[in-house]
Structure 1
Amino acid sequence: MNAPRDLVYVITGLNRAGAELVCLSQATHFSRLGHRVGVIYLVDGHDGLVPEFEASGVATACLRMSSIWELPQAMWRCRNLLREWRPTVVHSHMIHATILISLIKWTLPEIKMIATAHSVHEGGRLLNFLQRITRSAPDLSTNVSEEATRTYVAQRLFCADRAKCIPNGIDAARFRFQDNRPAKSDGIFTYICVAQFRPEKNHITLLRAFSRVHGDHPNTQLMLLGAGPLLPECKVLAETLGISSAVTFAGGNADVPTSLRDADAFVLVSNYEGFGLAAAEAMAVGLPIVGADVPGLREVIGRYGRLVCPTDIEAIAEAMEQCILEEDRPSDRLARRHHIIKNFGSDSIFAKWESEYRRLGL
């Protein structure tokens, strides 16, 4: 455990979700390049991805934090661990980890720090206050979308002279393109959404919109991949709307690439998104996209999909219906994939991180 580490990531937890998977891809990449990598996570029990980190040669450690009031103890444990590991660069993901490392950095000035936010909204009033008063600690502060980065600077959560947008990267080889889609024998048109069942992901509105589409087009189904606290409520709503037989709740451990390739269109109508990783993965497969017209998703989807107001059920249903009615040509599918590879391909994004890490001495 006390072996030195070149690069250490710090994140709230290691359950399977967007920011955590981004952290896993970064840690794995730099471990494969020969760097000694470690990951510190704050919350005990949020450890679903620990085996995958360790299988990549990445050391993991938990600070056993359960509330903001345990911050002093977590700081003490984290500081001791960093003194043992002696990393050159510490890279925090999300606001809790960023505040923790920002407070510690004053006592470990030799460490270079990068802080990454994954959304326009990561914290409430108290957490935002703490990030404002420690915003000068990171040597580089990044967000995953241009709009979110500008918002963080305007709200004084980032120092303007150290702020940069670095999007998430997509492994295009993992999300393979299907140029020749076989015809379905059952004639079912399948919509898919990959998102945790949390309020910001707006599953309630999606289910209400799908119920309208399904009423007019009975040969449709909705596949929902993910887990989370609102899952039971969404299952009850599907029953209430009379669409439970057309909605599949596939859970958080479903095979995402295979599920995307089996679907006909992707829908994500979040109230807000930092980046929209799941949408980018679906576009890499070539799927038509219906997305919320919010920061992050706007940048990912651009002119290659349908953008709708996340509170407008009728507009969402209409956009979903257009996916059935309008021809989806192979050239359209290929254009979506090329857009993702050009702007968000993992090779180019990793190159940006390599450049920043080298600049800080890694």
Structure 2
Amino acid sequence: MQQDSGFVSMRHRLRIAHVITRLINGGADENTVHSCNWAAQRGHDVVLLHGEMVHPEILAKVDPRVELIGVPGLTRSISPVSDVKALLALTRRFRALHADIVHTHTSKAGILGRFAAWKAGVPAIVHGVHIVPFVNVGVAERFAYLALEKLAAPVTSAFISVSEGIRDLCLSAGVGHPDKHYVVHSGFDLDRFRNARPPDDWRDLLRLTPGAPRPPVLLMIAAFEPRKRHTEFLDVFKKVAVRLPDAVLVLAGDGPLRSIVESRAKWLGLERQVVFTGYRDDPERLIALADLCLLCSMREGLPRVVMQYLAGGKPCVACDLPGLREVLRPGINAVITPEHDLAAMADAIAALLEDRERLACLAQGAAATDLSNWDAKLMGKRIDAIYREALDQHRASKGVPTRPPVGNVALPR
């Protein structure tokens, strides 16, 4: 079989097991599903082990060739009894699967999955770092996660971070040796966002009366979770609403805090200016509708949604977080405000909406941003190269000859 066929031969087929705490409509989850699908479509045997929280929308995106296995006790919250149950279940599964690679995702699954894989004797153990769990958290939580990450580092064959900033945070905290760290940006279908059009029912979506002019549209796509700071942002968005009473804020997504955020909007008297869309399977069309896109999270890796905003040709106002400046360029395609100053973010949003010429320049910069590193196919190839490298290192440590390369993809340090 030729190398450019896109498929692996029987001799190079891998048994890959991915592990994630939950499967919801989030960036880490979509990244995991894409990684599974890419490998399965190229002939690898792929298993996705997941925790108890599962959303049907994300399950529908999983390739039928990927085997799905629920893991009892694998939950996001810390629970000693459930955690031990999940650890034992994962260990049994890995032994039965005879996996070549275990690839863990997110913090909780990353800790339990790596220890279970090590206990089961899996040759190569890879951890995907989508977010750093010991940053912008309480002292006790930081200490616990940092201690566990350092404990798991020696059994980790490779770390795959979604941004250089995330990698650097891990290294500065002493998590893992530099030679074990790689950066693979979280890929997606760029053309889907570059060529999108607004929803056909955009007037209904914005609740416009017949003949009403199109208002300025702000968009934030984010799961309704505490670290996304929806409620806190609504408090400062009131300032924007006063300066620009015709502006509409579209909040797309779902999650446990949605009803609380909706109540907050009502309490603030913002029902007319804030639209809740719920989960949408066409985020590219919402981005096409927007004038300006937002991100106000307190913790992130390098969220795919930021690249999706830019791929759609829309500038972004975001709080300053590690990794964002790899792609966001203040004054070129974005405005970056202090991490803990949402009031400054609100001021920046209002100022941009009032200066349409500047907004148009940032939109041009967004459309011109080089996003080639976020191409979905490149992501799959880079991850595959890291798997091969990890397995070669394992074989070398055992005195076993390494296999010939399947392709020629540079390792993304």
With the length of structure 2 as denominator, give the TM-score of the two structures. 0.79
Counterparts of 1:332 and 1:88 in 2: how far apart (Å)?
A: 46
Q: Are 2:284 and 1:257 equivalent residues in the alignment?
A: yes
How far the C-alpha of 1:209 sits from its partner, in A, is: 2.9
- What does residue range 283-294 of structure 1 map to in structure 2 within 5 Å? 283-294=310-321
Deviations 1:195-241 (A, max 9, x none): 11222112123212322112121211000012223222221221222
* Structure 1 residue corresponding to 2:179, chosen from 136, 142, 161: 161
Aligned to 1:213: 240
Aligned to 1:32: 41
- What does residue range 1-362 of structure 1 map to in structure 2 within 5 Å? 6-41=15-50, 43-49=51-57, 51-52=59-60, 54-65=62-73, 66=75, 67-121=79-133, 124=141, 125-177=143-195, 186-253=213-280, 255-303=282-330, 304-324=333-353, 325-327=355-357, 332-333=362-363, 335-361=365-391
Change (3 A) 1:71 1:35: same
How far the C-alpha of 1:345 sits from its partner, in A, is: 2.4
How far the C-alpha of 1:156 sits from its partner, in A, is: 2.5
Deviations 1:55-104 (A, max 9, x none): 44211101111434322322222122222222211110012112112212
Asked if 1 retains the 8 angstrom alpha-carbon contact of 2:184 and 2:379, the reply is yes
Once the two structures are overlaid, the 10-residue window that deviates more, 137-146 or 328-337, is: 328-337
Counterparts of 1:99 and 1:219 in 2: how far apart (Å)?
A: 48
Q: Tell me, which stretches of 5 or more residues in structure 2 are unaligned? A: 1-12, 204-211, 392-405, 407-413
Counterparts of 1:280 and 1:333 in 2: how far apart (Å)?
A: 13
Once the two structures are overlaid, the 10-residue window that deviates more, 262-271 or 102-111, is: 102-111
Change (3 A) 1:80 1:5: farther
Deviations 1:333-357 (A, max 9, x none): 4542442523322233223212212
Q: Tell me which amino acid in the other structure corresponds to 2:348.
A: A
Asked if 2 retains the 8 angstrom alpha-carbon contact of 1:189 and 1:219, the reply is yes
Counterparts of 1:118 and 1:254 in 2: how far apart (Å)?
A: 22
Counterparts of 2:22 and 2:382 in 1: how far apart (Å)?
A: 25
How far the C-alpha of 1:323 sits from its partner, in A, is: 3.0
How far the C-alpha of 1:297 sits from its partner, in A, is: 2.4
Q: Tell me, which stretches of 5 or more residues in structure 1 are unaligned? A: none
Counterparts of 2:367 and 2:44 in 1: how far apart (Å)?
A: 31
Counterparts of 2:259 and 2:339 in 1: how far apart (Å)?
A: 21
Change (3 A) 1:357 1:80: same
Asked if 2 retains the 8 angstrom alpha-carbon contact of 1:187 and 1:219, the reply is no
Counterparts of 2:131 and 2:43 in 1: how far apart (Å)?
A: 30
How far the C-alpha of 1:155 sits from its partner, in A, is: 1.8
Counterparts of 1:215 and 1:54 in 2: how far apart (Å)?
A: 44
Q: Tell me which amino acid in the other structure corresponds to 2:369.
A: H
Deviations 1:238-295 (A, max 9, x none): 1222111110111124531111111111011111211121111111101121011111
Describe the SS at the equivalent of 1:245.
Answer: coil
Counterparts of 1:24 and 1:342 in 2: how far apart (Å)?
A: 20
Change (3 A) 1:102 1:110: closer
Q: Tell me which amino acid in the other structure corresponds to 2:267.
A: T
How far the C-alpha of 1:329 sits from its partner, in A, is: 7.7
Asked if 2 retains the 8 angstrom alpha-carbon contact of 1:279 and 1:289, the reply is yes
With the length of structure 1 as denominator, give the TM-score of the two structures. 0.89
Q: Tell me which amino acid in the other structure corresponds to 2:114.
A: S
Asked if 2 retains the 8 angstrom alpha-carbon contact of 1:261 and 1:285, the reply is yes
Larger Rg: 2
Asked if 1 retains the 8 angstrom alpha-carbon contact of 2:162 and 2:184, the reply is yes
Describe the SS at the equivalent of 1:298.
Answer: helix
Asked if 1 retains the 8 angstrom alpha-carbon contact of 2:25 and 2:223, the reply is no
Report how many aligned residue pairs link the two structures: 358
Counterparts of 2:69 and 2:43 in 1: how far apart (Å)?
A: 20
Once the two structures are overlaid, the 10-residue window that deviates more, 202-211 or 327-336, is: 327-336
Percent of pairs with identical residues: 22
